[in-house]
Structure 1
């Protein structure tokens, strides 16, 4: 891939496509607000944007990248599809429309990562198979440089062996933070060389007054949000915080100048509510 990302990257064993370890999420950021937020994020230094068909702002993400003046090859774009069409051709059409909305009509238009948004697709296993095969077609056509899944359990990923020509998936995007570490699936993905993207790393702002989190923030003169993002990075996750607030967008990026020590990481690990 041409171009260099300004933040550090990780490279999934299964894809060899570098992914910036800190991304910018745009869930529930509509229209012009999405364009403005993405441009602020790109100006700040973010080089990954995470969108989805469900968010209804893929086109705005593409507009923001073009208006930023940053080369397309220097921005990593993730999108997702959670719908199955009436036919396999219709399902493929749905996926290719996302590429068009983000990257335009050019023959060489592409997204960097395309995910199945959820395993709970109409038709269950048959639906998952059909959407994955549409993503594989995009991959072979060069319209998706890597492909993966989101919210997939170990069983869902194992099921893919029955039909996938590309396995393992390059990425699994799941909810990850100290209160949801999903240790079984994260260990499995690490063993299989599947990169982990962490959505809701800030726990939707519901834990910012947690005593442990605030104590660690005071220790490093960092906000609770910065501690949560840094925690995810040190766990080896690709972290995807979101915000519409320009100040917080910049603040969330300020996580590369400190490291949480082993004792504090252990305290955060002990907050886990999942297995």
Structure 2
């Protein structure tokens, strides 16, 4: 009996610790309801700023179709000028892009080059390992060198994968230009990040060529199933919560 009582006390203490760690323990409504209200209140403040001439346009970021539909029900200003979301061949967001186009919302793609949050294991899951050839000296005789070729595996990324590289070679452009042009032809605004003036110039120089239907289809085929192609905010614990 004493042992059973001790177990009960221990379980109660563990429950109290879990409750103390729960940021929503004093909430009178669910986290989802609080977030819906918070988004509506924030949008109302942004609408006020627009009406007062403090800003020229207002938009949202990382909003799903459900987020947008919920916001639309209470918004005075509609549509948002822009919805900034992750979008690239592995995670193309077709339904969201179609919704934004229908509602007159510009979809702005961040991580159009694949982002930087994915681990080697994640890239391997999405793209596998690619083989590359490597020459090595197998023996030397004074003036003559004999070489043999061996194959090794290389962990790749979206920016470096074979499909993107082959299209870049076909068009005589860089891999990043291929991915940025892809986003542009999918009617996405793009915001590639770089601190290099040379890269800035390269990223802006994507209007002298176009991807043909076959090249677009090959990039579309990189799409990962469901949410598995998502590369950004992978270490953020809030990504696991449904705040709709």
Same fold (TM over 0.5): yes
SS of the equivalent of 2:59 reads: strand
1:154 aligns with 2:78: no
SS of the equivalent of 2:91 reads: coil
1:130 aligns with 2:41: yes
Q: Pick closer, same or farther for the CA change 1:139–1:274 going to 2, 3 Å.
A: farther
- In the alignment, is the contact (CA less than 8 A) between 1:208 and 1:224 conserved in 2? yes
Match of 1:97 in 2: none
Separation of aligned partners in 2, 1:231 and 1:223: 13
Could you tell me which runs of 5 or more consecutive residues in structure 1 were left unpaired when the two chains were aligned: 1-119
Separation of aligned partners in 1, 2:103 and 2:225: 21
1:131 is displaced (CA, Å) by 0.7
Q: Which deviations, in whole Å up to 9, do the C-alpha atoms of 1:42-79 show, x marking residues without a partner? A: xxxxxxxxxxxxxxxxxxxxxxxxxxxxxxxxxxxxxx
Stretches of 4+ aligned residues off by more than 4 angstroms: none
Q: Pick closer, same or farther for the CA change 1:181–1:158 going to 2, 3 Å.
A: same
1:265 aligns with 2:216: yes
Q: Pick closer, same or farther for the CA change 1:230–1:196 going to 2, 3 Å.
A: same
1:234 aligns with 2:145: no
Q: Pick closer, same or farther for the CA change 1:198–1:138 going to 2, 3 Å.
A: same
Q: Which deviations, in whole Å up to 9, do the C-alpha atoms of 1:119-177 show, x marking residues without a partner? A: x9993011101110111011111122111111001110010123210122221111111
Match of 2:130 in 1: none
- In the alignment, is the contact (CA less than 8 A) between 1:183 and 1:274 conserved in 2? no
Larger Rg over CA atoms: 2
Separation of aligned partners in 2, 1:224 and 1:162: 42
Separation of aligned partners in 1, 2:193 and 2:33: 29
1:221 is displaced (CA, Å) by 0.6
CA RMSD of aligned residues (A): 1.8
Q: Which deviations, in whole Å up to 9, do the C-alpha atoms of 1:173-210 show, x marking residues without a partner? A: 11111111011111111111111101111112632220
Match of 1:254 in 2: 205
Separation of aligned partners in 1, 2:166 and 2:172: 10
Match of 2:108 in 1: 197
TM-score (norm 2): 0.61
SS of the equivalent of 2:182 reads: helix
Q: Which deviations, in whole Å up to 9, do the C-alpha atoms of 1:82-124 show, x marking residues without a partner? A: xxxxxxxxxxxxxxxxxxxxxxxxxxxxxxxxxxxxxx99930
Match of 1:245 in 2: 196
